[in-house]
Amino acid sequence: MAFASAIIKRFRGVLGRYSLVIGTFTNTGGGIGGDVNTGLNHCHFLKLVVGGAAVSADEPVVNADFSTPVYGKAVPIVTTGDVDGFWIAFGT
């Protein structure tokens, strides 16, 4: 069970001091999630989208409370087994 995330593109200063980061996540061997490394110090928003040829029975979810920013670069997510996809994060 392995989980990996990667940053594809980073847009700095989208709205003043805020940045937008786009990336991918992959699960192998029955993996059901892990930490998405957003590259942001404070993540205010993270959207997950299933991608690839597989169909997911459930939508992937962020396992964090965004009532305040998530501090640190890693944001935990939960998916069904072997689901890959894309993410977009917003923060500083």
Confidence category of residue 60, pLDDT binned at 50, 70, 90 = confident
CATH code for position 40: 2.60.40
Tokens (6 digits) for 15: 């709205």
Tokens (6 digits) for 85: 């996809």
pLDDT tens digits for range 68-82: 788 878 899 998 888
The number of distinct structural domains making up the chain is 1
pLDDT tens digits for range 2-23: 899 999 999 998 889 999 999 9
Q: What is the DSSP string of 1-66?
A: -EEEEEEEEEEEEEETTEEEEEEEEEEETT--EEEEE-S-SEEEEEEEEE-SS---SS--EE-S-T
Torsion sign (Cα): 46, 39, 91, 20: negative
* Burial (0-12, 13-18, 19+ Cβ within 10 Å), 11: exposed
Domain that holds residue 40: 2-91
Name residue 76's beta-bridge partners.
35
